[in-house]
Amino acid sequence: MEENRAERRRQEKEAAKKVKACT
C-alpha cells in the first residue's frame, strides 16, 4: 500500500508545519 505511506508522510509534513506555526 504505497498510497497509505504517501498519506502518512503528507500528514507528518502537515503536522510539522502546524508545529512550526505554533512555535
pLDDT in tens, 1-22: 678 999 999 999 999 998 887 7
pLDDT at 14: 94
pTM of model > 0.85: no
Q: Helical H runs in the chain?
A: 2-22
**Dist. CA 12–CA 14, nearest whole Å:** 5
pLDDT at 1: 61
pLDDT at 18: 86
- Only one residue has cell 502546524, namely 18
